[in-house]
């Protein structure tokens, strides 16, 4: 059976973006870039909501991305990608498929194939919806050592309690902590 991993970064007080969608507080030094580049080479299908997709598609195919993070840009650009959106008319970033309806059934179908592993990058509302439907197999939460006065909390709108089991952790040199969890549905 295929697996669905969610990868999120958050502030210490649980926000994944500031009130205006700003994520400039997220620290990404060399060590985190190496970690992200390794994961980008995994061959996982990348999943996005519309907002995250548009942000990623607006950056990773650019010369700036290729210059600043060549390995990560290569992995992002060559990966298979799925964007979930009812309003987006097209998804032009290479290797991208747009799914407008029946997102839960689509994920269940994809998970039937043991060779398909998927990773949701950011996309807080998609993570919450998939968690509510018991579709997420693992969560990687990167906690930045910063506190915001306000913002959008991770798992905003989650309908039920979600118990988690810690499976791994890692501390980066700049104080970022990565926690790996398995949901206990």
Residues 64-77 pLDDT 10s = 999 988 888 888 89
Q: What is the pLDDT of residues 35-56, one digit of tens each?
A: 776 776 677 899 999 999 999 9
pLDDT recorded at residue 43: 78
Q: What is the pTM of this model?
A: 0.89
Could you please report the per-residue DSSP string of the chain?
--EEEEEEEEETTSEEE-TTS--TT----HHHHHHHHHHHTS-PEEEEEHHHHHHHHTTTTSHHHHHH-HHHHHHHHHS-EEEE-SS-----STTEEEE-S-HHHHHHHHHTSTT-EEEEES-HHHHHHHHHTT---EEEEEEES---SS-EETTTT--S---EEEEEEEE-TTS-EEEEEEE--
Domain boundaries, the chain: 3-155+168-179
129-173 per-position pLDDT tens digit = 999 999 999 999 999 999 999 999 999 999 999 999 999 999 999
CATH for 3-155+168-179 is: 3.40.430.10
């Amino acid at each position: 059976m295929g697996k669905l991993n969610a990868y999120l970064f958050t502030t210490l007080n649980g926000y994944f973006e500031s009130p205006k969608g700003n994520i400039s507080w997220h620290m990404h030094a060399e060590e985190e870039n190496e970690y992200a580049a390794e994961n980008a080479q995994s061959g996982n299908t990348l999943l996005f909501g519309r907002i995250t997709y548009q942000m990623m598609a607006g950056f990773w195919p650019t010369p700036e991305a290729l210059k600043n993070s060549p390995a990560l840009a290569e992995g992002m650009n060559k990966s298979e990608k799925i964007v979930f959106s009812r309003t987006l008319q097209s998804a032009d970033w290479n290797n991208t498929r747009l799914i407008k309806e029946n997102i839960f059934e689509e994920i269940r179908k994809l998970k039937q194939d043991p060779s398909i592993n998927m990773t949701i990058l950011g996309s807080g509302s998609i993570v919450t919806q998939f968690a509510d439907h018991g579709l997420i197999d693992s969560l990687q939460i990167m906690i930045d050592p910063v506190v915001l006065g306000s913002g959008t909390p991770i798992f905003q709108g989650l309908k039920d309690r979600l118990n988690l089991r810690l499976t791994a952790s890692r501390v980066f040199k700049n104080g970022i902590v990565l926690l790996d969890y398995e949901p206990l549905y």
